[in-house]
Chain A
Amino acid sequence: MNDERGGEGFAAGPPQGEMRPLGGQRSTRSDERGGHILDVRDLHVEFPTALGPALAVDGVSFTLDKGMRLGLVGESGSGKSTTVLALMQLIKAPGRISGGQAILAGDDLLAMSAQQMRSVRFSRIALVPQGAMNSLNPVLTVRAQIDDLLDAHGQKPEPKERARHVAGLLQRVGLPENVADQYPHQLSGGMKQRVCIAIAIALSPQVIIADEPTSALDVIVQKQVMQTLIHAQREVGAAIILVGHDMGLMAQFAHVVGVMYAGRLVEIAPVQEIFANPRHPYTRMLISSLPSFATRKVFRGIPGVAPSIVNPPSGCAFHPRCPRAEQRCSREIPVDDVLAPGHHVRCHFARELPPVNAAGEALA
């Protein structure tokens, strides 16, 4: 049943010392070399502020294999949404991508011109936005909005073929055909989100980015939307990056989970591995703070507040909240430590921490 799980061959890029120039050359390192559909290397995004630049994304590297589902978790302001929006060049000025590469099957997404990017969006990398209610145009039917996309990419100009394509898309996301001629206000929140998924797969992209697609939906609908997303992904053979803060949902959805904190990817590992053997104290606390039906009246929050990214704590940004922190943590930024194939951690003590039990106990 979980045949796709495990995220074999997953590896984040090696830590990069110097910042890479935003630039030009194509890479030949793509899927013919055995699997990576997307290779993000040392991504940096910054926003200028009155107090100096805020590093919203600070050296994030990961790879994505064909058909893989990556979950990116972290609290508000950790840079998870900024990371995926950068992949589509959707960072709004004055924010800018200040370094790194994102190689999608040989082409660097970050080096593309605005025009090139327009042709790549949704045809090769698509987005399922956070609020389906706000992303659909209220005065256009669903069909007109799918038409817009197909027109922009010059796809299926023949009317009969197009109608068939639209019907097929709706069927793939479990919606009846008549939805095509309805307006967004006639649909429920879950149906609107499914329409957004249908639009995302309309051009069979290689990567689908889903930015908290269920956060505005009821819990029962959430599961249906996630099932729809997986079903649609399989149909077009895309990889998915799911952004969210619900570790419980990630446990069920993702093959590989990446945890972000203060703009850095602090831990990334196959889902079974990260839940059984979380090595970063923050990951550990995220997992143990999950409420479940197993225990009552046990509150394990993460003390302290999220760090400022304008003026982040020195060294490891988590050290002010970390129960394992030592003096060294406030001085040295932990390097990317590879504990096992596909299991990367940025913590000075990643190798010495004992395995954690199922309840997330036994810290130090």
Chain B
Amino acid sequence: MSNNLPAVSIEAVTSGLASAGYIASPQIATAVYLAERIEKPILVEGPAGVGKTELAKALAAWRGLKMIRMQCYEGLDEAKALYEWKYAKQLLYTQILKDKLGEVLGGAETLSAALDRLHDFGDVFFSKEFVEPRPLLQALEQAKGCVLLVDEIDKSDAEFESLLLEILSDYQISIPELGTIAAVVKPTVILTSNGERDLSDALKRRCLHLHIGFPEQKLEERIVESRVPGISQSLRGQIVGFINQVRALDLKKLPSVSETIDWARVLVLLQSSELDHETVKDTLNVLLKYEADIETTMPQVTSFVAKAGRQGVFG
């Protein structure tokens, strides 16, 4: 389905994202729907691995649009995010055109006459030919529109946020030498943040704010179902039940959806039909990324497995 019309209803968004393999909660679907309707960027916050980036990918896949990704990091600046002049090309062209310039200016008697002639040619070297578009400018130039993902905006400097404001509110970029470049088709913008630092109010004000937390048990089971085909329903229930209990512990890094999916894949590969504490203990390192966390969880595994098993039977 590749059209640029906004979705007709929230249900359409849910089913559309589902067709791209993304099971969205009602909040997420509402956010995407509203973002298209009132043409606002979405700022997605939440712990790592709950599918913030995935949302942008799924949206692009569903819409059949190109996804342009802009990974943020400390020290990211204008030249890497917006545009840059192709200095080497400019230099090369001046070298090549030297003779031509000589011809043009040859007739001029005085210096000021030569200058006048030069002015007649305008800013040849500062034209669009010599602009190297970076992700943000690329996103505006897409003829069919696109999904622009500004990933991990909290990693960038505060100055970079201000740089984004123009593109977020007006979908345009001002280049001093060229003027303002507006979007051909307004892109759908998704910003993600892990909450490493507080973003400025100015940025937040321009966005819809979506917080994705850990999904509810039912929803997570559906996510696993769509991402790991061939997993039995009982195992799915047990995995999700187990992980939900792990999330209640005091851990350095709680396992999120991406870990659930990885773990489910591992268990399918190991051809386990059911959770037993031996397998869990062997594969716990897929789920937990710190030695200390594994140590905390290890003694609890047996009771968690038993409880998850019971849930699988009755729930």
User: Do the two chains belong together in a single complex?
Assistant: no
Give chain A's interface residues, CB within 8 Å of chain B: none
